[in-house]
């Protein structure tokens, strides 16, 4: 089947890009050293260890691999969340920030910075903030009409507005010398703070979340036909909708708590995935994860090696995302019907 072949190719592509990323960085290493260090770590010793093997090992496993792992997890999580949201809302122009998770997570992080909570505290508050924002938006929607999708979007709008305002308040209150630049830098999105411990917290939820959401893929296809028709096909519409929103929100909040605000990935990547493997969500979700991981890997490679100064990866993701989106737009029109 064509789609499976494409899916395997995407995964293989991810492996290749990851290997290339390991060779890229500000510390001058060439591919041979990297390869040697990787083989040595795997227990294979192709020859006598070169003189600076220790340093190579440290750079590779201490500085580069955590970021590569972080980029893969964050890129995959954002793309899957975006694809899931687009399926649930039956709208290909929806991004994970629709219900306010990004604004809420940003506010949580800013709160952590203003309180001086330290990196772990900031991440934790960011995660909680993201979930709180979505809960608030869903709550608002429930006050009016629990079943209406339009109300859900409306609730998300209100939640985003509220948390953006709170974020602005925090920016105003923050100490302009130390805290404010921290907040601004954090908001631009960056993988500099991905430590191996943060990565270990990220990997399992991203993997499990992607698998669970993909398992709902066929039911999400049925949902595309409309709520009532989906019910007649045997789909528990409300449970599916809120379950998928909950899962996608957790993934999105996790990424923000680790890497700040990275936009566009959740919006653009599902389109590319649909272009490659068709609209069936059972395939679109995992392929989105692969492509999102590749995309963010490329962005982060650029962010950490273009100049001595670290460029916020969110910036590059935005710019590159727009370029990709616009250049592929004519092809994408085949992907959906207006």
Partner 1 sequence: MGALAWGLMTGAAAPAASARDITDMAGTPSSVPDHPARIADLWFAHNELVLMLGGAPQIVMTVDRPQARPWMYQVFPVLYQAHAVNGPQVNAETLLRDRVDLVFVPEASATIAAFRAVGVPVLVSSFHDSDGLLRVVDMTATALGTDTARATAASYRAMMHDTVDNVRTRLADLPATARPRVVHIQSLHPLRVDGTDSIVDEWITLAGGVNAATGISGNMKPVSAEQVAAWNPDVIILGPDSGTLDQNADGGVWQRMAAVRAGRVYQNPSGVFPWDRYGSELPLQIRWAARTLHPDRFADVDMVAVTRDFYRTYFHYDLNAGDAARILAAQPPQAAPDGSR
Partner 2 sequence: MKADTPVLCLDHVRFRHGRRTVLHDLSFAIHAGELTALLGPNGAGKTTLLRLMLGLVQPDTGQVWLDGRPMADWSRREVARRIAYVPQGHVPLFPYTVRDIVGMGRLAETPFAPSLRATDCSAVEHAMAELAITRLAGRPYTDLSGGERQAVLLARALAQGARTLILDEPETGLDHGQKQRLYALLRRLAEQGHAVVATTHDPFQAARVFDRAVLLRDGRIVGDGPAETVLCADMVDRLYAPHGQTAI
Binding interface with partner 1 (CB under 8 A):
25-28, 54-55, 58-59, 61-64, 66-67, 118-119, 172-173, 175-178, 181-182, 185-186, 190, 192-193, 195-196, 304, 307-310, 312
Measured distance CA(318)–CA(309) in Å, rounded: 18
Choose the one of partner 1, partner 2, none that binds residue 234, judging by a C-beta under 5 to 8 angstroms depending on kind: partner 2
Residue with tokens 């710019």: 319
Q: With respect to partner 1, which residue has the nearer C-beta, 181 or 236?
A: 181
Beta-carbon count within 10 A of 176 CB: 9
CA distances from 323 to 74, 86, 176, 207, 268 (A): 20, 21, 34, 29, 10
Q: Does 229 bind partner 2 (CB under 8 A)?
A: yes
Chain residues 233-292 in contact with partner 2, contact rule CB under 8 A: 233-236, 274, 278-280, 282
154 binds, among partner 2, partner 1, none (CB under 5 to 8 A by kind): none
Is the Cβ–Cβ distance between 109 and 257 less than 8 Å?
Answer: yes
Our CB check for partner 1 shows the closer of 67 and 271 to be 67
Helix, strand, coil % in the chain, rounded to nearest 5: 80, 0, 20
8 binds partner 2, rule: CB under 8 A: no
**Distance from CA of residue 284 to its chain's centroid?**
15
Least distance in Å: CB of 280 to partner 2?
6
Spatial separation of the C-alpha atoms in residues 292 and 286, rounded to whole Å: 10
Give dist(CA 284, CA 296) in Å, integer: 18
- Alpha-carbon Rg for the chain, nearest whole angstrom, is 21
Closest CA to 132 of 150, 111, 149: 111
Between residue 165 and residue 224, which ones bind partner 2 under the rule CB under 8 A?
214-219, 221-222, 224
Question: Which residue, among 89, 127, 76, has the nearest Cα to 245 in the 3D structure?
Answer: 89
| Residue 329 CB, nearest approach to partner 2 (Å) | 16
Q: Is 144 in the site for partner 2 (CB under 8 A)?
A: no
Q: How far apart are CA 263 and CA 314, in angstroms?
A: 7
Using CB under 8 A as the binding rule, whether residue 335 contacts partner 2 is answered as yes
Q: 222 or 266, CB closer to partner 2? A: 222
Q: How far is the CB of 236 from partner 2 (least distance, A)?
A: 5
Interaction between residue 330 and partner 2 (CB under 8 A)? no
- 337 touches partner 2 (CB under 8 A): yes
**Minimum separation from the CB atom of position 61 to partner 1 (A):** 6
Please report, as ranges, the residues that interact with partner 2 according to CB under 8 A.
Answer: 90-92, 214-219, 221-222, 224-226, 228-229, 231-236, 274, 278-280, 282, 334-337
């Amino acid at each position: 089947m064509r789609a499976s072949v494409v899916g395997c190719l995407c995964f293989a592509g991810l492996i290749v890009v990851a290997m290339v990323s390991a060779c890229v960085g500000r510390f001058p290493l060439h591919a041979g050293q990297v390869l040697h260090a990787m083989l040595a770590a795997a227990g294979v010793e192709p020859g006598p260890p070169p003189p600076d093997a220790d340093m190579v090992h440290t750079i590779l496993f201490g500085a580069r691999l955590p970021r590569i792992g972080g980029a893969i997890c964050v890129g995959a999580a954002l793309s899957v969340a975006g694809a899931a949201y687009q399926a649930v809302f039956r709208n290909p122009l929806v991004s994970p920030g629709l219900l306010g998770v990004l604004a809420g997570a940003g506010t949580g992080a800013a709160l952590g910075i203003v309180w001086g909570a330290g990196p772990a505290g900031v991440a934790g508050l960011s995660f909680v903030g993201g979930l709180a924002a979505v809960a608030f938006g869903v709550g608002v929607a429930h006050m009016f009409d629990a079943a209406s999708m339009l109300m859900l979007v409306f609730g998300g709008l209100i939640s985003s507005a509220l948390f953006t305002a709170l974020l602005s308040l925090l920016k105003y209150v923050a100490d302009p010398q130390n805290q404010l630049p921290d907040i601004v830098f954090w908001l631009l999105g960056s993988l500099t703070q991905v430590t191996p411990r943060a990565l270990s917290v990220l990997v399992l939820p991203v993997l499990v979340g992607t698998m669970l959401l993909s398992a709902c893929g066929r039911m999400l296809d049925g949902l595309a036909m409309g709520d009532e028709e989906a019910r007649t096909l045997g789909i528990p519409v409300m449970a599916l909708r809120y379950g998928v929103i909950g899962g996608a929100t957790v993934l999105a909040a996790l990424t923000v708590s680790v890497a700040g605000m990275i936009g566009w990935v959740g919006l653009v990547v599902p389109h590319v995935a649909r272009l490659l493997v068709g609209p069936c969500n059972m395939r679109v979700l995992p392929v989105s994860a692969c492509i999102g991981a590749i995309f963010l890997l490329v962005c982060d490679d650029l962010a950490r090696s273009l100049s001595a100064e670290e460029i916020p990866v969110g910036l590059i993701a935005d710019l590159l995302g727009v370029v990709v989106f616009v250049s592929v737009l004519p092809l994408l029109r085949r992907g959906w019907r207006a």
